[in-house]
């Protein structure tokens, strides 16, 4: 009988189910997409019931595959898009409204008011985060204040809040209300030093503690999956936010280990050990993972648009039909093209944090074609990553030399080489690009006792592809300079718009 770890990977555009061998190899996977909703400018929503249905469909599709028909699930792991916030009825499990997605900017004005009132220093000191609509706290308050009767019901203890791992765990187990430390650390309500919900933050954001889940380790007994759902008789033993999961899947368990994941957005994390490093360059301090009550921390830089750029070029601009065509087009582009894309479709993330910035194409001439625009789109991902690396170097007080990459875009060889050229780093890409799901599988193995400790991860995994910089340093610096000027222009425009 084949033994495996079942993982739910609930992302921004789809929910996937994976079966991993105990060696960390993907046995099978099945994914189901769901729609995003954009009811107003800057608003992004998901339907919680649609997400739950995709989780059911993805898992049932996975378990019907021949490789798993006679298999045995040893443990379940969950990983998820972070910050996306949902509130549901404790009696029925039904959401009271659509979920507000991490990309949503509707509470930007609230964040600006709190900044103007001088609260950001306290928020950053306690949470490691900046005051930004990206995080959950203002989303929670918005739902409580804008869904009829929600705040009164929350005060009476009738409602429950969670990020998506918490929602799925509730549904999978029939009512277990937990949040792992990594997801909780992204709400702006958790004190990352104490690991507890913070009364000062709850008061500032006007969020009642009655709706919050219990914060626990990433490797933990979250409860048994209801066997009636899939016929699986196993316990959920691991849960971890997607970017921390990718870092853990990349085995970034030592101080200074750094990874960057290229999904809808791009997220770079560097392990800072048992120390919270407070960024002076608008990066975020966060919990990388918590095991046995001991917290390991990270610095993180977030880019809002990465794979979403490819999606936009394909679906909105119709520049190509398949995402993998972008690699071919970029390689065919005129290498002397001066086109720069600043993909601020939903604002700019780290290190700029400009919520009002909007996407711009600069440097086009009469000979600019599809290939040059596609190249500029992919190059913008590398240049944004370079910004993050420079900020991380400054905060860590030493120069990074290598970057581990994963996510769907990492399969693009042109992008991997371009990342090396424009960051000056050695780029390492593992054989398993779905390291988000892999990290959740590792956590489930730890929680189930299949792996004894973090050190045992070294025996799991395979070879890596390595890309070294081919671009000369003067050319790299010139491209970085032009990029910085382009971003400056975009930010100047946002200030006067």
**Which residue in 429, 423, 421 sits closest to 469, CA to CA?**
421
Please answer whether residues 467 and 419 qualify as being in contact, where contact means their C-beta atoms are separated by less than 8 angstroms.
Answer: yes
Both 233 and 315 in one domain: the answer is no
CA distance 222 to 239: 8
192 and 297: one domain? no
What pairing do the DSSP bridges indicate for beta strands 219-224 and 340-342? unpaired
Residue 148 and residue 293 share a domain: no
Confidence at residue 495, expressed as pLDDT on a 0 to 100 scale: 66
> Which residues in the chain come in under a pLDDT of 50?
none
Q: How far apart are CA 430 and CA 437, in angstroms?
A: 14
| Structure-token pair, residue 193 | 């030093």
- Give the integer Cα–Cα distance in Å for 290 and 219: 8
In this structure, is residue 441 part of a structural domain?
no
The predicted-structure confidence for 416-469, as pLDDT tens digits, reads as follows 999 999 999 999 997 777 888 999 999 999 999 998 888 877 766 667 889 999
Domain boundary among 215, 242, 269: 242
pLDDT score at 497: 58
Q: What is the pLDDT of residue 280?
A: 87
The CA distance from 69 to 64, in Å, is 6
Q: How many domains does the chain have?
A: 2
pLDDT at 460: 67
Tell me: do 189 and 276 sit in the same domain.
no
Same domain for 87 and 138 = yes
> Residue 338: its pLDDT value, please?
93
The pLDDT, as a whole number, for residue 264 is 82
Q: Among 242, 266, 290, which residue terminates a domain? A: 242
Does 417 map to a domain? Answer: yes
**Domain boundary, last residue among 242, 277, 306:** 242
Does residue 292 form part of some domain?
Answer: yes
* 197 occurs within a structural domain: yes
Same domain for 137 and 255?
Answer: no
Determine contact, residues 14/57, Cβ cutoff 8 Å.
no
Residue 31 belongs to a domain: yes
**pLDDT (0 to 100) of residue 74:** 95
**What pLDDT is recorded for position 496?**
66
pLDDT digits (tens, 9 = 90+) for 478-495: 999 999 999 998 888 876
**Residues 162 and 276 grouped into a single domain:** no
* pTM as predicted: 0.86
- Together in a domain, 407 and 353: yes
Specify if 482 maps to a domain: yes
> 449 in a domain, yes or no?
no
pLDDT at 265: 83
397: domain CATH number? 3.30.420.40
pLDDT for the residue 432: 75
Q: Are residues 44 and 113 in the same domain?
A: yes
What totals of helices (H) and strands (E) does the chain contain, helices first? 16, 23
Q: Is 85 exposed, middle or buried (0-12, 13-18, 19+ CB in 10 A)?
A: buried
Residues 61 and 50: beta-carbon distance below 8 Å: no
In this structure, the answer to whether residues 135 and 187 fall within a common structural domain is yes
Question: What phi-psi label fits residue 277: left (phi over 0), alpha (psi between -120 and 50 degrees) or beta?
Answer: beta
CA 417/CA 174 separation, integer angstroms? 47
Residue 40 lies in a domain: yes
Q: What is the pLDDT of residue 10?
A: 96
Say whether both 266 and 235 belong to one domain: no
Domain that holds residue 381: 251-430+463-497
SS3 465: strand
Same domain? For 274 and 225 the reply is: no
């Amino acid at each position: 009988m084949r033994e495996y770890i079942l993982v739910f990977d609930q992302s921004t555009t789809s929910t996937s189910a994976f079966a991993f061998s105990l060696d960390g190899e993907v046995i099978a996977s099945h994914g189901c997409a769901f729609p995003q909703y954009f009811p107003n400018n800057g608003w992004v929503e998901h339907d919680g019931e649609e997400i739950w249905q995709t989780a059911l469909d993805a898992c049932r599709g996975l378990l019907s595959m021949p490789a798993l028909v006679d298999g045995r699930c040893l443990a379940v792991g969950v990983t998820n898009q972070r910050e996306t916030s949902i509130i549901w009825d404790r009696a029925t499990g039904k959401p009271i409204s659509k979920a507000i997605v991490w990309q949503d900017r509707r509470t930007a004005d609230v964040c600006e008011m709190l900044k103007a009132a001088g609260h950001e220093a306290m928020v950053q000191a306690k949470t490691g985060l900046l005051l930004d609509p990206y995080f959950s706290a203002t989303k929670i308050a918005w739902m409580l204040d804008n869904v009829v009767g929600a705040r009164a019901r929350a005060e009476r203890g009738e409602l429950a809040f969670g990020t998506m791992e918490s929602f799925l765990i509730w549904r999978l187990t029939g009512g277990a209300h937990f949040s792992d430390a990594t997801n909780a650390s992204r709400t702006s309500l958790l004190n990352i030093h104490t690991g507890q919900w913070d009364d000062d933050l709850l008061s500032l954001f006007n969020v009642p503690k009655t709706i919050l889940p219990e914060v626990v380790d990433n490797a933990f007994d979250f409860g048994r999956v209801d066997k009636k759902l899939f016929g699986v008789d196993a316990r959920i033993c691991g849960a971890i936010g997607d970017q921390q999961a990718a870092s853990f899947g990349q085995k970034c368990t030592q101080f200074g280990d750094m990874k960057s994941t290229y999904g809808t957005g791009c997220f770079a994390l560097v392990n800072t050990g048992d120390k919270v490093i407070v960024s002076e360059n608008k990066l975020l301090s966060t919990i990388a993972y918590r095991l046995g009550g001991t917290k390991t921390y990270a610095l993180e830089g977030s880019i809002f648009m990465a794979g979403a750029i490819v999606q936009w070029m394909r679906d909105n601009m119709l520049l190509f039909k398949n995402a993998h065509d972008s690699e071919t087009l970029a390689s065919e582009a005129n290498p002397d093209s001066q086109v720069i894309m600043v993909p601020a479709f939903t604002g700019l993330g780290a290190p700029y944090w400009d919520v009002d910035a909007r996407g711009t194409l600069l440097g086009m001439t009469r000979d600019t074609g599809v290939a040059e625009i596609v190249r500029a789109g992919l190059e913008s991902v590398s240049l944004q990553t370079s910004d993050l690396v420079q900020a991380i170097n400054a905060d860590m007080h030493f120069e990074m030399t290598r970057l581990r990459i994963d996510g769907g875009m990492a399969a693009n060889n042109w992008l991997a080489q371009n990342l090396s050229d424009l960051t000056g780093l050695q780029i390492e890409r593992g054989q398993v690009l779905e390291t988000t799901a892999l990290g959740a599988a590792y956590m489930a193995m730890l929680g189930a006792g299949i792996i004894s400790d973090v050190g045992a991860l070294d025996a799991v995994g395979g070879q890596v592809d390595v890309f070294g910089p081919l671009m000369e340093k003067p050319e790299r610096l010139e491209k970085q300079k032009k990029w910085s000027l382009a971003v400056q222009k975009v930010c100047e425009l946002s200030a006067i718009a």
